[in-house]
Amino acid sequence: MIAAEAALLVVDDNEDNRYTLARRLRREGYENLTMTTNGREALDRLKAQPFDLVLLDIMMPDMNGYEVLEQVKATPALRDIPIIMISSLDEIESVVRCIELGAEDYLNKPFDPTLLRARVGASLEKKSLRDEVRRNMNRLMQELEAARALQLAMLPRQFPACSPSHPIAVHAVMEPAREVGGDLYDCFYAGEHTFCFLVGDVCGKGASAAMFMARARSLVRITVDLWQEWRTDGIDPGELLGAVNRELCQDNDDCMFVTMFLGSIDTRSGLVSFVNAGHPRPHLISSTGETKQIDGKPALPLGVRREARFQTRALQILPGDALFVCSDGVFEAMNGNADLFSIERMGQLLAQAHAAEPLEIVRMIRDAVDAFTGGAPRTDDLTALALRWRPAGTAAAHPIS
């Protein structure tokens, strides 16, 4: 910080001390000086205009320097202004008290010119560095917020309406633990009678996981589009994820990987073809109220081994049945006592909601996790997707009572 640009506030009830201090500061190039004679006036000035440094006398009538320092540090808008305490007191107790209250430094009267130059310069330099860090942090937060909005915009927020020709009711949510996350979901029709859905979870957190998540989702979409363009047979989730896996392994120097559950439903028959690439097993929610996890040992996550093969499995669901797929951030959510939300608790809630719409199922689980964790910080992204097969003639689901 250039000395001539620094705004300094000098607070001292003694006119001779103010004159001496101002003269020595001007010799060092500090021209932007404001003088006040008491603590209350100093507080008014600090609230009215910005200052880069305050030189504050301790022994003043009405309101002493300790009291001014306490009020400044208790005011969020002022607490970061560096304050150098000045006093004829040289007791160590006074120095300690000032530092404990948040003073930047301490100067004894009469002022030593060399010491004054060094401490004022050092305090201003530290403030300049703190201001630069704060500007960078603010810019980073703005960029992360923009990245969060962009990432969430990549995931569907408007879901296909359930109708006789498209008999899948679906809803999903993804809530990052940080500004951006590594979870993903997607759902779309890949043909007149084929509905695809997926939930994934990238290893790690933050920007790198978010970028890998975007890559994984885009590859699935692109591969499905190419399959429809080049092939006439139905989509095979195992072959599809095999192609996605080979691309994710390409140039993967950071050894990132993503677990993923990918399924496709024949909307005419209710036959679900799926692959579980290292992801938590989904729940099948019967229209009669029975709830269970889908059998099948998970395969390797995507991005681990280029030559990995993924076996397509099949599951027959009945009219009115629902599927619930989530990331481990749901059942591994912890409260303040480090207790897990647990798969068992989640299964019990899903059984209670067996007749609910997918939107209500997802909302109920999310609200239950929030209530369980309370104010505990979330350590993992939360992603959940629910869908229900409702062919023509199937009664609509009922709201949760």
Q: What is the pLDDT of residues 81-126, one digit of tens each?
A: 999 988 876 667 888 888 888 888 888 888 788 888 898 989 989 8
The count of C-alpha atoms lying within 13 angstroms of the C-alpha of 12, restricted to the half-sphere facing its C-beta, is 21
Q: Alpha-carbon distance 230 to 227, whole Å?
A: 5
Lowest model confidence (mean pLDDT) among 195-199, 230-234, 268-272, 356-360: 230-234
Q: What is the mean pLDDT of residues 170-176?
A: 91
Instruction: Give yes or no for a contact between 272 and 317, defined as CB atoms under 8 angstroms apart.
Output: yes
The model's pLDDT over 258-288, given as tens digits with 9 standing for 90+, comes to 999 999 999 999 999 999 999 999 999 998 8
Give 3-state DSSP helix, strand, coil % of the chain, rounded to 5.
Answer: 40, 20, 40
Residue 320 confidence (pLDDT): 94
Q: Alpha-carbon distance 282 to 327, whole Å?
A: 9
Q: What is the mean pLDDT of residues 48-73?
A: 90
Rounded to the nearest integer, the mean pLDDT of the chain is 88
Question: Higher model confidence: residue 7 or residue 1?
Answer: 7
Q: What is the DSSP letter of 340?
A: B
DSSP secondary structure string for all residues of 266-314: ETTT-EEEEEEESPPPPEEE-TTS-EEEPP----PPBTS-TT-----EE
The pLDDT confidence band at residue 41, using thresholds 50, 70 and 90, is very high
* 166 three-state secondary structure: coil
Give me the amino acid identity at 69. L
The pLDDT confidence band at residue 1, using thresholds 50, 70 and 90, is low
The model's pLDDT over 322-350, given as tens digits with 9 standing for 90+, comes to 999 999 999 999 998 889 999 999 999 99
The pLDDT confidence band at residue 179, using thresholds 50, 70 and 90, is low
The answer, yes or no, to whether residue 207 has pLDDT greater than 90, is no
The answer, yes or no, to whether residue 401 has pLDDT greater than 50, is no
pLDDT > 70 fraction of the chain, expressed in percent and rounded = 94
Residue reference for tokens 């202004």: 81
Residue 273 confidence (pLDDT): 95
The answer, yes or no, to whether residue 218 has pLDDT greater than 70, is yes
The answer, yes or no, to whether residue 395 has pLDDT greater than 80, is no
Domains of the chain: 3-137 (3.40.50.2300), 156-389 (3.60.40.10)
